Amino acid sequence: MKPKFEKPPKAVSERMKKVRGSGTEIEKEMGKYLDELNLKYKEQPKIKCIRGTPDFRIKRSRVLIFCDSSFWHGRREKEVTGVAFKRNKDFWTRKLKENRERDRRNTKILLREGWSVYRFWDTDILKKPEKIRRELKRISVEHKLTGFSAVDVFCGAGAVSHGLIQAGIPVNAGIDNDETCRYAYEKNNKARFINEDVRRLSGTFVRRLYPDKDIKILVGCAPCQPFSKFTQKNKKREKDEKWKLLYAFSDLVKKVRPHVISMENVTEIMNQKVFTDFIETLETLKYHVSWKSVYCPDYGIPQSRRRLVLLASRFGKIELIPKTHEKLEYKTVRQTIGKLEPLRDGETSEKDALHRTYKLSPLNKKRIERSKPGGSWLDWDEELRAPCHRKKTGRSYSGVYSRMEWDKPSPTITTQFYSFGTGRFGHPEQNRALSLREGAMLQTFPKRYEFIKPEENLSMEKIGIHIGNAVPVKLGVIIGKSIINHIKTHREVGK
């Protein structure tokens, strides 16, 4: 025989009706968040396979959103024993248990039918707007609901793609001719990696990477070594095949005709004909073009690095967002890597395989022991100095064999940042050079960014190239935010 439960008071019944109805306060707030992201939706869609109704379905997708009451859907079970329901404890215990079971059953059925289901609590919707915005942005990127998306050429290990995704731009694919980048790219960005030389790409192939009707964003950072200040004295550098890759990117723009373009490189490229030719091509194609020399600390990047960022659009004027940090707010080495586990030279952390360091020679151990943060080999005794540095002609090369300073941004991270003798890459206080993880974090890769498969033995040299050649991830975020702002402005003007 089923037990009899006392019916709830009339006031409680009326409250339940309001919660079940559409147009509640939490639904109105959720609607505002969806509108902010320009997501088109249907309220209270009828889904035949379940008991109950989702609050929203995102149009042109299989994404469903439920706005759940913390009490009625059982987030706070302790409320069942509250004074208001003391006389009906058995009823409410049973009722809320049924609600939770129904939610689990409905979600399971919907997932089986190919829907993506997201549930939000009312208290979060009303009191934690930034949390809701972040989650909705993540959902819109994951399901490519934004109406715009990107393809990343010369993607490497995925730094720019990761930044674009963090900013809110879905990335359809990354293209690079280095197959060893595949794992890091796909693992961390959940996007397709295409191992191909950009010079062999057809416009049709790249256009098909974008969803129909999407605003097409094409980003590319052609290898910068031919234009770097470190190769200025190399008279044969224009014969380097990498020199031609910006022309190849320019050709790809002609074939694909994306709506928005971003190109990043070293600032020295501005003095080269290949850059002026690129600008001329874009302007001939009726793009609005802007470029800027970016000092990375101005945008929250803990690295005293300058980069050229170019933006172009077929819609109208486009510019990089204003700097986000003043000098007193610059991110420092201490803030970025100061809490990582201490290591000796040649040691690998048991917790993180990428937190490993290069083994120093006995001579370099003596040298780093006598090195000061921000100093140089000029601080050493004469017998420790390299023969080339003892000559008058070698005294100007003071930017090597040095420690970083804790409370300043780091120097530019190069492909050999793990080596004490190739720059100012000594740890501020430990007697070793930077670990691979430290270099990655100074490039603003997340702490848990994976570069190699578990148990894979990729050389420090190869991982160093992946990290050092990358665009700082946060610069990718800044580029992404600039593009999104531009697209929003274009959409508002077009209304």
User: What residues are labeled active site?
Assistant: 224
Residue count of the chain, please give it. Answer: 495
DSSP 235: T
Residues 6+ apart with CB under 8 A from 363: 384
Residues 461, 469: Cα–Cα separation, whole Å: 12
Angle between helix axes 159-167 and 182-189 (nearest 10 degrees) is: 10
Residue 208 φ/ψ region, left for φ over 0, alpha for ψ in the -120 to 50 degree band, beta for the rest: alpha
Residues 462, 464: Cα–Cα separation, whole Å: 5
The answer to whether residues 289 and 311 touch, using CB atoms and an 8 Å cutoff, is: yes
Please name which of 306, 341, 335 lies closest in space to residue 411, comparing C-alpha atoms.
306
Which contacts (CB < 8 Å, 24+ apart) does range 415-421 have?
Answer: 415/464, 415/465, 415/467, 415/468, 415/469, 416/464, 416/468, 417/442, 417/464, 417/467, 417/468, 418/357, 418/358, 418/460, 418/464, 419/358, 420/358, 420/360, 420/364, 420/367, 420/368, 421/364
The dihedral formed by the CA atoms of 253, 256, 259 and 261, expressed in degrees to the nearest 10 = -30
Q: Give residue 144's identity as a one-letter amino acid code.
A: K
Residues 42, 458: Cα–Cα separation, whole Å: 49
The dihedral formed by the CA atoms of 188, 192, 193 and 197, expressed in degrees to the nearest 10 = -150
Q: Which residue has the tokens 């702490």?
A: 447
The answer to whether residues 145 and 183 touch, using CB atoms and an 8 Å cutoff, is: no
In the sheet that holds 288-295, the strands lie side by side as: 192-195, 171-176, 148-153, 215-220, 260-265, 306-313, 288-295
